[in-house]
Amino acid sequence: MIGSHIVDLLVHDQQIDEVRVVDSFFADDTKKNLENSVGSGKLRTLTADVRDGDGILGALQGVNYVFHLAAVMTLDGLDRPEWIWSVNAGGFFNVLNASRQVGVERVVLSSSTSAYGDVPGDKKLTEELVLKPTTIYGATKASSEALAHAFWRTFGLETVALRYGVVYGPRLHRRSKSSMVIRDVIDAVLRNERVVVFGDGSQRCEWVYVNDVARANIAALYSNVAGESINVGTGSAETIRQVVDTILRLMDATVDVEYKPFDKPVAYNENVMDVTKSSRVLGFLPSTSLEEGLMAQIEYQRAEMQGV
């Protein structure tokens, strides 16, 4: 989802000659996400697994810059922690090591607020906080950030880690534990079905629109900062119930909503991020309101359901 939006921006960048997508394509829908960029003539796709060091080394030959988004989501690897670790941390090491060997100038890492772990709810998430992740996924992100910093200090490979809030928007997949509530609610309304939401709706999230996240990545590419971790969010948070109510209002829906206990464990980071650093260092601030982003998501899913 996020990677395809980055690609859409890159293919329109006059300074970029080729955009190379390296993916294992284990999810059937991922190639479809690139449809908007195929006609640019700049897109090249390679199938490779980040756990294959030699394969990644070959895929990065001639590459100047890398955006690293490959990761196993928490729910995908809930019962397979070794898979999460081997892809998220081990795979990122392979990408960094290959980047060092082939002369890549800069690597931009997609990280997450999951790296922070438990922080008192009244405390803002600032980049200076000590990372204490409470999930395997969060631990792999914290470890990846440490690797990125180490490669910068040891080998001079420029790295930037971007810590995202809950990303939503067009091409939202069903494997994201927090943002899938948006997709599920919209789908239910489009089918005129009862809306079921797990949890009591009081959980707060910092929702950030996918195109804003993509723009943050481009800002990190062209920045002169290295060896840093930077929050990418809005600096505000809304509860799941508020988001659900907004979707229903935007869709003029009168369906029933049922809040029920979680069927799977979901760890929400309910803190608000301090986004001062992203503004100061990257010159980046999000430009999409929650209503605008949700409307774009609604229209995307409506078209998807109609087979457009």
Joined tokens for residue 160: 């930037």
Q: Would you state the pLDDT for residue 118?
A: 85
Whether residue 285 is predicted with pLDDT greater than 70 in this model: the reply is: yes
Whether residue 82 is predicted with pLDDT greater than 80 in this model: the reply is: yes
Distance from the first to the final alpha carbon of the chain: 18
Whole-structure pTM value: 0.94
pLDDT digits (tens, 9 = 90+) for 114-154: 999 988 878 899 999 999 998 899 999 999 999 999 999 99
> What DSSP line would sit under 234-278, residue for residue?
-S--EEHHHHHHHHHHHTT----EEEE--SS------PPBP-HHI
Q: Average the pLDDT over 60-79 and give the result.
A: 86
Instruction: Work out the pLDDT band at 75, boundaries 50, 70, 90.
Output: low
H/E segment holding residue 67: strand 65-68
Whether residue 77 is predicted with pLDDT greater than 60 in this model: the reply is: no
Instruction: Work out the pLDDT band at 74, boundaries 50, 70, 90.
Output: low
pLDDT digits (tens, 9 = 90+) for 229-252: 999 999 999 999 999 999 999 999
Instruction: Work out the pLDDT band at 164, boundaries 50, 70, 90.
Output: very high
- d(Cα 54, Cα 110) in Å, to the nearest integer? 22
Whether residue 204 is predicted with pLDDT greater than 60 in this model: the reply is: yes
- d(Cα 236, Cα 238) in Å, to the nearest integer? 7
Whether residue 110 is predicted with pLDDT greater than 60 in this model: the reply is: yes
Instruction: Work out the pLDDT band at 178, boundaries 50, 70, 90.
Output: low
Q: Would you state the pLDDT for residue 239?
A: 93
The mean pLDDT value of the chain amounts to 92
Q: Would you state the pLDDT for residue 27?
A: 67
Task: Give the three-class secondary structure for 185.
Answer: helix
Q: Would you state the pLDDT for residue 288?
A: 96
